[in-house]
Amino acid sequence: MNTRPHSGYGLVFIGLSSDANREDALVEFQHFRENNDVIVETRLRPKQVMTRYPLSFDDAELLSNRLSGLGVRCHIIDLSPVTQPTSGITRLGLLLALSLVYNIVVTAFLVFSMSPASEPKMSNPPPISAFALGADLFDYGGEDYTSFLLDIDETDVRLFWKGDSGQHISNFSALSHLVDQHGYQLVFATNAGIFNPDFRPVGLYVEEGREIVPLELGDGYGNFYMKPNGVFYITDNRAGIVASEQYPHVAATHHVRFATQSGPLLLQDGTLNPLFTEGSKHRKIRSGVGIIGDKIVVFVKSNEPVSFYEFATMFRDKFGCRSALYLDGVISNMFIREFDPVPFGGDKFGAMIAVVEKHEPVAGNAPTIELPALPTDLSGPAVSDNPAGQVEPDNVQ
């Protein structure tokens, strides 16, 4: 029997949501059938399809993006380690084989997160002393970026979501007003991660030591659910980024003051996420956070569209980060007082990460920032109940 090596990616177990237009979805499948040999199979598992042969990552992204607009949840997996029969096997057998491959690969991702051999690590990272704290505009690989570096031992960095009355803060101008009322000025702010239509963080959110939104370890579609995803956290004496599955150990052994969950991980142990492809045509505005050592945190936003591969490589090779996390896409923005002393409104974010500095308190107000009142209803709509409304402009890639 002839075999054909898998040198690309599979799009498997695509579930149609209850409100998806099945006929429209089937039309999209047929568009890809001629070039990518997509199987539409309803006998084994109704309302599911998968690719018979591997796709390029770009084609998998393209198909996933089209289907997501129809309420179809997709999983992109790397099938390169296995071989696929090209003859003498029925479609039912193909489905069973790919189902097994899918479960093996996903389990491997959760257990081992990333293969160290999937991407060479930078051999000579720049020393921490090479970086100047504060804001910078720089060019890397022909693309423009904005960065802000801080030392957690010298900087008051916090997460904000709701104000004193429990109202969503929403933008830099409102956040600046809030901290000013408590005797602080806003130095830096950026969006903290992906959120739902009601501005509730999709995953874990910890503020002033209190877990307000729990850790999300489920599956779904969109960048948040590209595995492994991760958590950016700050304790009393360090900052870190870990895979989401590793966070419970961190929480059990450290006093976590602030934390936000997002996805995908850009870097883990100095290795690029294996889902990223050099030369990918999917280029968008992107923001993320990286860790240098365990004290220096760098926030970066691309000022022009870049691929995930380029964005992750920049964190690794320019800053020497061994861990980095994607925060969001097109909606991303930064307020940097050094560049513009007047915080701007208009943007609508979920939670925000901010650096504040003490100044003379406004008369009649408390000298310190108090923990904002907890929202009266933390449940919100489940992500899986309203996937099309998730505020994530990149969708899958």
Residues 6 or more apart whose Cβ sits within 8 Å of residue 26: 40
Task: With residue 304 as reference, give the H or E element that holds it.
Answer: none
In a domain, 396, yes or no: no
In a domain, 342, yes or no: yes
In a domain, 310, yes or no: yes
- Same domain for 140 and 243, yes or no, is yes
Hey, how many other C-beta atoms are within 10 angstroms of the C-beta on 29? 18
pLDDT value, residue 69: 65
CA pair distance 193, 218, nearest whole angstrom: 17
Domain closes at, from 53, 83, 112? 112
- Same domain for 315 and 277, yes or no, is yes
- How far, rounded to the nearest angstrom, does the alpha carbon of residue 210 sit from its chain's CA centroid? 22
The domain containing residue 25 runs over which residues?
3-112
Domain closes at, from 88, 112, 136? 112
- Same domain for 98 and 168, yes or no, is no
Decide if 84 contacts 53 (C-beta within 8 A).
Answer: yes
pLDDT tens digit at each of 397 positions of the chain: 333 333 456 555 445 554 455 555 555 555 555 444 444 332 223 334 444 445 667 777 777 777 766 666 666 665 554 334 444 444 445 545 555 555 555 445 444 444 433 444 444 555 544 557 899 999 999 999 999 999 999 999 999 998 888 888 989 999 999 999 999 999 999 999 899 989 999 999 999 999 999 999 999 989 999 999 999 999 999 999 999 999 999 999 999 999 999 999 999 999 999 999 999 999 999 999 999 988 999 999 999 999 999 999 999 999 999 999 999 998 899 999 988 887 877 678 899 999 999 876 545 443 344 444 333 333 333 332 233 333 334 444 4
DSSP state of 252: H
- Same domain for 224 and 290, yes or no, is yes
In a domain, 254, yes or no: yes
pLDDT value, residue 1: 37
pLDDT value, residue 40: 35
Order of strands, sheet of 296-302, starting from the edge strand that comes earlier in the sequence = 134-140, 143-151, 296-302, 287-292, 323-328, 265-268, 271-272
In a domain, 119, yes or no: no
Task: With residue 178 as reference, give the H or E element that holds it.
Answer: helix 172-181
Nearest C-alpha neighbor of 239 from the set 216, 262, 209, 259: 259
The identity of residue 96, as a single letter, is L
**Residue 243's beta-bridge partner residues?**
230
Please compute, for residue 37, the number of CA atoms within 13 A of its CA located in the half-sphere on the CB side: 9
Q: Provide long-range contacts, Cβ within 8 A and 24+ apart, for 87-95.
A: 87/1, 87/2, 88/1, 91/39, 91/41, 91/52, 92/41, 92/43, 92/44, 94/39, 94/52, 95/39, 95/41, 95/44, 95/45, 95/50
Nearest C-alpha neighbor of 306 from the set 178, 91, 108, 146: 146
In a domain, 169, yes or no: yes
pLDDT value, residue 121: 46
Instruction: Give DSSP secondary structure letters for 199-233.
Output: S-BSS-EEETTEEEE-------SSGGGSSS-EEEE
Residues 6 or more apart whose Cβ sits within 8 Å of residue 321: 267, 290, 291, 292, 298, 315
Nearest C-alpha neighbor of 272 from the set 395, 77, 121: 121
Hey, how many other C-beta atoms are within 10 angstroms of the C-beta on 386? 15
pLDDT value, residue 24: 58
The token duo for 301 is 């936003």
- Same domain for 190 and 315, yes or no, is yes
Alpha-carbon distance values, 175 to 36, 39, 163, 170, 204 (Å): 48, 50, 8, 8, 21
CA pair distance 20, 257, nearest whole angstrom: 40
Decide if 354 contacts 156 (C-beta within 8 A).
Answer: no
- Per-residue pLDDT tens digits for 75-132: 666 555 433 444 444 444 554 555 555 555 544 544 444 443 344 444 455 554 455 7
pLDDT value, residue 74: 63
Q: Domains in the chain: how many in total?
A: 2
- Same domain for 132 and 251, yes or no, is yes
pLDDT value, residue 364: 47
pLDDT value, residue 65: 72
